């Protein structure tokens, strides 16, 4: 392992295994410090929620929007947490069973060939509370009132509403800014006989967040962050 040339506090990995887990280092080095933290978040999630649901998404900015710091992603996380709490509160009022959900996350801020920044985000929730991503509501336009908890809001709706809130935009103005990649979700169950294989698959997918090529240093903003516990 070697030190990162732009940030001496970071260490790079060039091998295809880390802690005996496969990682995406085929085309470029990965940042070991980030792998450590991704591993911790994943383990913290399954330790608290033995059945954990993992969601991958990409959050994009409008072409005329630029966020010089990472306050926007903090607002996104806070909005999503608030929606989950509101969902739990509604179920309690209705006398339904509530499965507590501690939202955890990993995000990375990137800028590739274009000058537009974007975020890759992984979200970790209690699978007993949320076990599917769902589909966006149909229709050509969206409004904040068109999606509500009483309308059987799904996780894709909540994520989009949280990004609209973070950007301080109407929901219809954010259409196309939230992208879910192919195979965006994983279900982990510590009691399932396939758990070890699923864990390895999830970590391999998330090791993408640790690639060094699209990270930029020196502008006093964070490129990576995650839940602390």
Pairing of strands 118-126, 178-179: unpaired
Which string of DSSP letters, residue by residue, matches 4-17? Answer: -SS-TT-EEE-SSE
Helix-then-strand count for the chain, H and E: 4, 11
* pLDDT per residue as tens digits for the range 98-131: 999 999 999 999 876 656 789 999 999 999 999 9
- Half-sphere exposure at residue 43, Cβ-oriented, CA atoms within 13 angstroms: 6
pLDDT higher for 137 or 27?
Answer: 27
Domain edges within the chain: 41-226
User: Environment class of residue 218 by beta-carbon count within 10 Å: exposed (0-12), middle (13-18) or buried (19+)?
Assistant: exposed
pLDDT band of residue 93 (cuts 50, 70, 90) is: very high
- Ranges 9-13, 183-187, 200-204, 207-211: which has the least confidence: 9-13
pLDDT at 207: 96
Closest Cα partner for 7 from 223, 218, 221? 218
**pLDDT at residue 203 in the model:** 97
- Greater confidence (174 vs 8) lies with 174
Q: In which band, very low, low, confident or very high, does the pLDDT at 28 lie, cut at 50, 70 and 90? A: confident
More confident residue, 39 or 11: 39
């Amino acid at each position: 392992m070697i030190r990162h040339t732009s940030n001496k506090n970071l260490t790079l990995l060039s091998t295809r295994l880390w802690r005996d887990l496969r990682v995406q280092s085929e085309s470029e080095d990965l940042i070991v410090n980030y792998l450590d933290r991704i591993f911790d978040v994943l383990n913290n999630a399954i330790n608290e929620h033995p059945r954990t649901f993992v969601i991958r998404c990409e959050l994009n900015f409008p072409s005329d929007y630029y966020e010089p710091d990472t306050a926007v992603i903090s607002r996104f996380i806070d909005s999503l947490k608030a929606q989950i709490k509101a969902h739990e509160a509604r179920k309690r009022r209705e006398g339904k069973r509530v499965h507590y959900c501690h939202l955890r996350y990993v995000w990375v801020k990137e800028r590739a060939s274009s000058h537009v920044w974007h975020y890759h985000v992984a979200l970790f929730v209690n699978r007993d509370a949320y076990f599917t991503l769902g589909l966006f509501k149909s229709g050509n336009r969206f409004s904040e009132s068109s999606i509500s908890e009483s309308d059987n809001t799904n996780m894709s709706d909540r994520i989009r509403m949280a990004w609209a809130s973070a950007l301080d935009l109407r929901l219809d103005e954010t259409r196309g800014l939230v992208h879910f990649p192919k195979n965006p979700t994983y279900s982990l169950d510590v009691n399932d006989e396939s758990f070890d294989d699923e864990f390895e698959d999830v970590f391999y997918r998330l090791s993408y967040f640790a690639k060094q090529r699209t990270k930029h240093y020196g502008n006093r903003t964070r490129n990576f962050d995650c839940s602390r516990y």
